[in-house]
Amino acid sequence: MRRPASLRGKMVAVTLSMLAIVGAATLYTGFATAALARSLGLLFERNQLIEEIRSGLSLSAQALSGYLTSRSPDYLAAYEGAAELLAQRSAALNREVRADEALLLQRELAGLVDRYLLDAGAAASAKAEGRIAVYSDRFESTLRGAELANLIVERIERRNLAASIEAYTGLEPRIGAIVATNAALVLAALIMAFTVFVRYAWAITEPLSALAESARAIGRGDYDRELPPIEAAEEIATVASAFENMRRSVRAAFDELKSKAEIERRLMEEDLRLVEMDRRLKDAELLALQAQINPHFLFNTLAAGMQLAMAEGAERSGNFMEKLSGFIRYALKSPSRSVLVSDELECVERYVWLLRLRFGERYSFSVEADPEALSAETPALVLQPLVENAVTHGLHDLEEGGAVRVRVACAGSEVLLEVSDTGVGIARAELEALRAGGGEAARGEREGGIGLRNVMRRVALATGGLGRVEIESAPGEGTTVRVRLPAAGGWA
């Protein structure tokens, strides 16, 4: 008497039969759709290549424009990367004369891309060498070349779309037959599987229901619910045991993940704080670069220099031009650098000399310097904006003039930079806004200067929060601004 086939044997036999039917359906579908895949694959590769060329044109043009506008190394690096990628993609285009419109369009596009890269590279080189006329002309040629290349790209894409539609139209009648045959084979496999699985469903699903209930409990977050004892075939019992072990492992892993997630959250918050500080520093540097010298001051002092040249000999005019050019050279350097306090005082002395040339003896200036403080480090362009604020906002409206005093000294572990004036002072509300770092009309920013608020921000960011700016003022009693920096330096 033959032994009945085991549950495992029957299911293996049914599974093999189902796999044979499904495999036949899959092979039939695969052979039927191979032609479509091959024909559309080439079109996809061409479309992808053209899209990458379009993207390369756009990215390189944007990066080049940003570099020509700001001369930022980041923009230059972005342009070089986009241009290299564009050159690589362009190399895959057809460059031979063929009796095919699509290949001829590729050849024309390759020539335009080569010309575009040549003009763009020349524009970037001219910008680096300071040849304004050359890079302006080359950049215009670059833009024209990009426009022409984009027109060719659009023509190629339209042609590829038409070819895709034509290929699909030719295969559409066969698709219905493929789908019908494949559906019949799959239906046969489903009927066969249903007939066998109904017979064995109860024996299998009852213990599996217990496993499912435990799984739902875990899904609800109940990791402490244990799996009840299951009497079933060896295979299902093994699964139940493995599931219980998994529940315990998940519970332990969940507790560990919660601990790690908390640590990662704190690290992310710290990273975001550092990124925000870096962004604020860059914003402050940009503001300083955009408004380092008051245009009205330059206009008035240059006009005074012209009058001197006409009214007297060349010696005073030469001194004037020397002081002015030295001041401009110092002011136009990167504001993110650190300098010696002696350099800052030299810049202030040039600025005061120019102010005296403009206003005569209307204002008096004095400088007191501790020799030990001259070799200390400070962020660039700190003292001159404070002196400018004192004259522009403190003394400007006083008919009798006034006095400005600049003092630098060592105060224990700090270097003190102080600018005081005998001007109109600051209203209490505006003073509180300045001390809080807020307010739209902060002193020194209302007329385009570097601004006291920006000086405060730059000192804090450049020293990592170790430096600070103090302000003392009252209406009618003048203003004193003190900048306190770590004497050790090395923070720039």
Are 433 and 309 in contact by the 8 Å Cβ rule? The answer is no
pLDDT of residue 223: 61
pLDDT of residue 172: 61
Are 408 and 479 in contact by the 8 Å Cβ rule? The answer is no
**Which residue has better confidence, 49 or 440?**
49
pLDDT of residue 156: 80
Query: Is there a common fold for 7-200 and 291-486?
Result: no
* Strand order, beta sheet including 402-411: 363-369, 402-411, 414-421, 479-486, 468-473
pLDDT confidence bin for 483, thresholds 50/70/90: very high
Q: How far are the Cα atoms of 94, 271, 293, 321, 327 from residue 332, in angstroms, in the given order? A: 50, 32, 8, 16, 9
pLDDT at 203 over 50: yes
pLDDT confidence bin for 442, thresholds 50/70/90: very low
pLDDT of residue 419: 96
pLDDT at 244 over 90: no
The DSSP symbol for 395 reads I
pLDDT at 455 over 80: yes
- Count of residues for the chain? 492
**Which residue has better confidence, 72 or 214?**
72
Q: Which residues contact 151 (CB under 8 A, 6 or more apart)?
A: none
Q: Which tokens belong to 146?
A: 């990009």
CATH fit for domain 7-200, picks 2.70.98.60, 1.10.1060.10, 1.20.120.1730, 3.40.50.300: 1.20.120.1730
pLDDT at 481 over 90: yes
Mean pLDDT throughout 121-140?
A: 82
- Predicted model pTM: 0.41
pLDDT for 89-98, tens place per residue?
Answer: 888 787 887 7
Domain layout of the chain by residue ranges: 7-200, 291-486
pLDDT of residue 52: 82
Domain 291-486 has CATH 3.30.565.10: yes
pLDDT of residue 167: 64
Report the alpha-carbon distance of residue 30 to residue 89 in Å, rounded. Answer: 32
pLDDT-wise least confident of 249-253, 269-273, 331-335, 480-484: 331-335
**Which residue has better confidence, 268 or 9?**
268
pLDDT confidence bin for 366, thresholds 50/70/90: very high
Which residue's structure tokens are 């302000």? 471
Mean model confidence pLDDT for the chain: 76
**Which residue has better confidence, 49 or 240?**
49
Which residue's structure tokens are 């039927």? 32
| Cα atoms in the Cβ-side hemisphere of radius 13 Å centred on 287 | 20
Q: Which tokens belong to 8?
A: 């495992």
pLDDT for 418-428, tens place per residue?
Answer: 999 999 999 98
pLDDT confidence bin for 439, thresholds 50/70/90: very low
Mean pLDDT throughout 460-488?
A: 90
Q: How far are the Cα atoms of 5, 82, 158, 444 from residue 191, in angstroms, in the given order? A: 21, 57, 47, 85
Report the alpha-carbon distance of residue 236 to residue 316 in Å, rounded. Answer: 103
What is the four-CA torsion angle of 342, 346, 351, 356, rounded to 10 degrees?
120
pLDDT of residue 440: 41
pLDDT of residue 400: 86
Mean pLDDT throughout 145-159?
A: 83
pLDDT at 471 over 90: yes
Mean pLDDT throughout 227-236?
A: 58
Report the alpha-carbon distance of residue 155 to residue 80 in Å, rounded. Answer: 27
pLDDT for 284-328, tens place per residue?
Answer: 555 554 455 455 566 556 556 656 665 666 566 666 766 776 677
pLDDT at 278 over 80: no
Kind and range of the H or E run holding 473: strand 468-473
Report the alpha-carbon distance of residue 468 to residue 141 in Å, rounded. Answer: 50
Task: Say what percent of the chain tops pLDDT 90.
Answer: 15
| Helix (H), strand (E) counts: the chain | 11, 7
pLDDT of residue 56: 82
pLDDT confidence bin for 415, thresholds 50/70/90: very high
pLDDT of residue 69: 83
Q: Which residues contact 487 (CB under 8 A, 6 or more apart)?
A: 376, 410, 412, 413, 414, 415
pLDDT confidence bin for 41, thresholds 50/70/90: low
Mean pLDDT throughout 105-109?
A: 81
Q: Which tokens belong to 192?
A: 């066969």
Mean pLDDT throughout 21-50?
A: 67
pLDDT confidence bin for 441, thresholds 50/70/90: very low
| Cα atoms in the Cβ-side hemisphere of radius 13 Å centred on 9 | 4
pLDDT at 253 over 90: no
Report the alpha-carbon distance of residue 348 to residue 332 in Å, rounded. Answer: 14
Q: Which residues contact 338 (CB under 8 A, 6 or more apart)?
A: 377, 378, 379, 380, 462, 489, 491, 492
Highest mean pLDDT among 111-120, 251-260, 362-371: 362-371
**Which residue has better confidence, 440 or 400?**
400
